[in-house]
Amino acid sequence: MCGIVGIYNFKGNVEKHDLYKMLKQIEHRGPDYKNVFLDKNIGLGHNLLKIQDISNLSHQPYVFNNLVIVYNGEIYNFQEIKAELKTKGYTFLSYGDTEVVAKSFDYWGLDAVKKFNGFFSIAIYNKEKKSISLIRDRVGIKPLYYYIDSDRLIFSSEIKSIFSDDTICKNINLDTILLSFSTNLWLPYYNTFFEKIEMLEPGTIIIFNKNGIQKKYKYFKPSINIKYKKEKNAIILFKESMKKSIKYKSLSKFQIATFLSGGIDSSIITKEYSDLNNRIIDSFTIYYKERENKDLKHAESLTKKEKIRHHKILVKPENINMQTLDEVIFHMEELLMDKVYISDYLNYKAAKEEGFRVILNGQGSDELWLGYIKIWNIYKFVENNFNKKMLIDSYFKKNIVFKEKLSNYSKNILLNILDEYISNNILNGYQKEYENYTIYAIKTILHNLLLQEDKLSMAHSIECRVPFVDDNKMLELGLTIDSNLKLFDKKEKYILRKAYEKILPKNIIQRNKYPFPEPPNKYDSVIKLLCKNNWENIINNKIISYLIDTKKYSKLDYYNPKELWWLLNIYRFTEIFN
């Protein structure tokens, strides 16, 4: 796990100090080593977080023949690929996956990416062709951003690194903020919160030359292709695939722990990882004051049964403060659409303090296995022959933050924004609506949650691995099992429950799905106080005034707790990235 940067100047040479300025902004992604490569008008940089190969043989930028690569991620099947390349005459000096990645591209070209099982963002400079290729993994586990104009291409693992070039304007994307009011976490993966800052889409390769974008294409596009309709086969395949995925996830020279929410996803991961080890493993669970902590109780039922060392992380009201909020926004580079971001950030912080470099996380299961079916109201429209107007009027407008408080500017453009959003993300062309919504979830909320895990883990120099979706077989299985087996007998994630009903504690198997818990309502008083202490700055904030009718709704008491959270977020976001 690392951070990568690069510059392709179309009209002049690249300066080494500009690359190091970019690397400085993301040194949290790789504190162990940094280096750059320069070839006149092209430069690449890399921050290293050592996970597998702790020698100096995998340092990047990595040069082999005509190729120079910088790479962020893990290729779990690199040993199998290495063995295949040895039959082609390649030799290897290192023990990690970086050398394998470089030599794979040397032999197979860009098609090599189809062989990779893992998660990654990769930049390849071809010295002969004078081209740079950017590549992102199948579902967008590792981020990669770029900015391009007539003078240069600049790319990085994080946006803040691109902004180390003072000539690039930090213009806030009002459309993205307004869309987030309606969609919450279900934002599409092509939106960033800054104008002209593009995010490379998952499963995409884009090639740049001196004239700009030469070619852009998808090497992977999530699609439903039903192969398995029998329950017994699906259960066997799921258990086999999960065990293999967890075995791959155990590759590390450093300690690994799990995040355990007490739900079935993280419980499966924790149980399988515990069974794989001949030692006591560690898990981390968040809980709050002043509430019934169902997640903690469920988690404890597993940790006590399996004798797992359980780290219980208490998130207190005082943890929600301006300093922590600013830190999380700085690392996320977007608005925090709920308070869970802070809890997640503190969980990774605790794991870092205990010496862990790798965390196994259950993200991705809900999207592939219909875990949200009873949580998000949008699924109530599944049985209907919905159309755009019905969705906009009955769901998006009804659930939008601020509602009548929106400015005329916001109201005038909202319909067009939502129309485009629905066309690009919800209407996916499948006969079964649950299949439409699976693809919809992969293209929106899954991407956002994976982005959240990447940014908040890397803020503490931790690699987050997600066994449900960072393994090709697990991803393929989720896209090829009939949705009638995912939702059966009024239970979501039916196959997961059946596969582990005799392995996990009964209370975990039988519990209903509910969202990862936000801090309880009492914590809202802390947010209200933060708003009160900064109210003049909030209500006079230029972006807020564009989006909200702050002249009519000028007093603090006009806003409910959820709206205050969003106002505080926008205010701090615009101050941090001013």
Annotated binding-site residues read 97, 286
| Confidence at residue 382, expressed as pLDDT on a 0 to 100 scale | 52
Mean pLDDT, range 44-50, rounded to an integer: 97
The conformation of residue 426, written as its DSSP 8-state character, comes to T
pLDDT in tens, 174-200: 999 999 999 988 998 888 999 999 999
| Confidence at residue 294, expressed as pLDDT on a 0 to 100 scale | 85
Active site residue 2: yes
Mean pLDDT, range 409-432, rounded to an integer: 85
| Parts of the chain belonging to CATH 3.40.50.620 | 231-371+447-510
Annotated binding-site residues for L-glutamine read 97
Question: Which fold would CATH assign to domain 2-173+183-218?
Answer: Glutamine Phosphoribosylpyrophosphate, subunit 1, domain 1 (3.60.20)
Catalytic residue among 2, 169, 464, 531: 2
Cα distances (Å, whole numbers) of residue 549 to 67, 197, 405, 406, 575: 54, 28, 6, 6, 20
- Is-contact 538 397, C-beta < 8 A? no
pLDDT in tens, 320-342: 999 999 999 999 999 999 899 99
User: In which band, very low, low, confident or very high, does the pLDDT at 489 lie, cut at 50, 70 and 90?
Assistant: confident
Share above pLDDT 70 across residues of the chain, in percent, rounded to a whole number: 97
3-class secondary-structure state, position 133: strand
pLDDT exceeds 90 at position 522: no
| Confidence at residue 58, expressed as pLDDT on a 0 to 100 scale | 87
Predicted TM-score (pTM) of the model is 0.96
DSSP string for 35-93: EEEEETTEEEEEEE--SS--SSTT-SSEEETTEEEEEEEEETTHHHHHHHHHHTT----
Mean pLDDT, range 143-162, rounded to an integer: 98
| Parts of the chain belonging to CATH 3.60.20.10 | 2-173+183-218
Annotated binding-site residues for ATP read 286
Mean pLDDT, range 125-152, rounded to an integer: 98
Q: Which two tokens stand for residue 73?
A: 């991620």
User: In which band, very low, low, confident or very high, does the pLDDT at 293 lie, cut at 50, 70 and 90?
Assistant: confident
Distance between start and end Cα atoms, the chain: 29
Question: Which fold would CATH assign to domain 231-371+447-510?
Answer: Rossmann fold (3.40.50)
- Which of 190-199, 504-513, 517-526 shows the lowest per-residue confidence on average (mean pLDDT)? 517-526
Q: Phi/psi of residue 325, each to 5°?
A: -55, -45
